[in-house]
Amino acid sequence: MATTIGSIEELSLHVGKHLGWSDWMTVTQERVNLFADATGDHQWIHIDPERAKDGPFGGPIAHGYLTLSLVPVLLGSVLQVQGVRMGVNYGTNKVRFPSPVHVGSDIRLGATLAEFTEIPGGCQAAVDVTIEERGAAKPSCVAQLVFRYYA
C-alpha cells in the first residue's frame, strides 16, 4: 500500500521515515531480453539461459541497469505525492548492485525519504531505495534517487 502524501509541505514531514515496500514483481527472461534489445547489451549471462547455467551465477541474471530501471514502477506503489503539477527524475546520488537479480526471481523495493529541500516552485527530494530479491542474503540494488516536485 502506497504512502500517499497530500502536498509538498506534507512531504517534508516524512524525512527519515521508511515509506514502505512495494509488491513483489517477477523478473522474466522476456523482460531481460527486451532490455538487452533496447540497450544493445546482449552478454550471455543475461540472454543465454543454457550457457548461463554454467556461469558464475548458476543461471541468467538481469542487467543491473534493468533492475534500476524498475524503480519507477516499483516506487509508484510505495509513494504517491499529490497536489503537485509535475514530478521529474532529477538523477541519482549513488547506485550499487551488491547482489544479482536471478531471472525468474521476485523482487521488491523499499524506500525512505532521506532529504527534502525547498527549491523555487517546489522541492527536491532524495529517496533511498533498496531492491531485494526474495530470499537473497544481500540487496540487489541500493540507490539514492533525486526527484523534483513542482507545485
Question: pLDDT tier at 2 (50, 70, 90 boundaries)?
Answer: confident
115 vs 127: CA distance, rounded Å: 7
Instruction: Kindly tell me the number of DSSP H helices and DSSP E strands found in the chain.
Output: 6, 8
Asked if residues 131 and 139 have their Cβ atoms less than 8 Å apart, the reply is yes
What is the CATH classification number for the domain harbouring 121?
Answer: 3.10.129.10
Instruction: Report the alpha-carbon distance of residue 92 to residue 126 in Å, rounded.
Output: 8
Q: What's the pLDDT tens digit per position in 58-101?
A: 999 999 999 999 999 999 999 999 999 999 999 999 999 999 99
Q: What is the mean pLDDT of residues 54-60?
A: 97
Task: Report the predicted TM-score, pTM, of the whole model to 2 decimal places.
Answer: 0.94
Look at residue 26 and tell me whether its pLDDT is greater than 90: yes
Question: CA 16, 17, 19 angle in degrees (round to 5)?
Answer: 135
SS3 category, 62: coil
Distances (CA, A) of 7 to 10, 40, 137, 146: 5, 40, 37, 17
| Overall number of domains in the chain | 1
Rounded Cα gap, residues 96 and 33, in angstroms = 22
Q: Model confidence at 112, in pLDDT bands (50, 70, 90)?
A: very high
Return the DSSP state at 102.
B
Percentage of residues of the chain with pLDDT beyond 90 = 98
Domain span holding position 33:
3-150
Cell of 99: 547482489
